[in-house]
């Protein structure tokens, strides 16, 4: 969806999950200076990706485009898809070995990066990609000296440093930051935007169980306040069994 919007020099103005004959998809609108309003739907089926795109600057053309897109039906050889409602089926997953759990739209993949210190627990990352949305958690152990001198002030500075580093690595443009609470600990959430892709990046960091914990979401900017984003952040739990 994002690459399509960029190809027509457009801006994504609406995106929702949809369902057609049991097949999951997205229904989106793009505002393009070259082609006018564009309606775009795409469905993942047993026979591949099915898309319909229609546009037109004139009011009559816009109405006709809507009629074309809304007339799509998947019959015959497509059969009926497996889903009964739009969007992913969010489920809770235990994130071993961190003794955490969180809800994801699909099973998260885990990546490990062993630390150079002997016996170091290493960096763990759990992440998923669902369409043009990304959800991830990262944990990184603090060093013994860092833990020893971890006053509230030092901890807050470490949290801010973690977020700032994540922002720099992303290459996105800073929008704002605010204090919060994550797993019962003080946290900071930072918002950034990538104007080239139209994506919003949300990073929230805290110190938990001797580790820096970073929760990351990257979604189209129109979805940054969506229920699924709020659900992902709120779903994080400690001491999962």
What is the average pLDDT across 47-62?
79
Rg, Å, the chain Cα set: 21
* Overall fold of domain 91-238: Protein Transport Mog1p; Chain A (3.40.1000)
- pTM score, two decimals? 0.86
Q: Are 140 and 165 in contact (CB under 8 A)?
A: no
Q: What is the pLDDT of residues 68-100, one digit of tens each?
A: 888 888 888 888 999 999 999 899 999 988 789
User: How big is the CA angle at 89 (ends 172 and 200), to the nearest 5 degrees?
Assistant: 10
Q: Where in the chain is the domain with CATH 3.40.1000.10?
A: 91-238
**With bands split at pLDDT 50, 70 and 90, how would you rate the model's confidence at 61?**
low
Of the ranges 35-49, 108-122, 163-177, the best mean pLDDT one = 163-177
Rounded CA gap, 12 and 26, in Å? 12
Residue whose token pair is 């990352």? 125
């Amino acid at each position: 969806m994002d690459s399509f919007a960029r190809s027509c020099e457009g801006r994504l103005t609406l995106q929702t999950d949809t369902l057609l004959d049991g097949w999951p998809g997205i229904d989106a609108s793009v505002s393009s200076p070259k082609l006018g309003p564009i309606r775009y739907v795409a469905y993942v089926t047993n026979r591949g990706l099915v898309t319909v795109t229609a546009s037109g600057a004139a009011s009559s053309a816009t109405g006709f485009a809507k009629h074309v897109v809304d007339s799509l039906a998947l019959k015959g050889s497509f059969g009926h898809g497996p889903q009964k409602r739009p969007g992913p089926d969010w489920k809770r997953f235990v994130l071993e070995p961190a003794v955490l759990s969180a809800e994801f739209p699909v099973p998260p993949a885990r990546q490990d990066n062993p630390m150079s210190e002997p016996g170091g627990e290493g960096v763990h990352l759990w992440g998923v990609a669902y369409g043009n949305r990304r959800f991830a958690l990262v944990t990184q152990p603090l060093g013994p000296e860092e833990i020893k001198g971890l006053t509230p002030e030092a901890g807050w500075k470490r949290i801010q440093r973690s977020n700032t580093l994540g922002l720099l690595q992303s290459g996105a443009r800073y929008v704002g930051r605010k204090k919060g609470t994550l797993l019962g600990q003080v946290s900071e959430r930072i918002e950034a935007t990538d104007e080239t892709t139209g994506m919003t990046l949300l990073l929230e960091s805290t110190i938990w169980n001797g580790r820096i914990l970073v929760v990351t979401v990257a979604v189209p900017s129109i979805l940054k306040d969506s229920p699924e984003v709020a659900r992902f952040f709120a779903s994080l739990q400690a001491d999962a069994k």
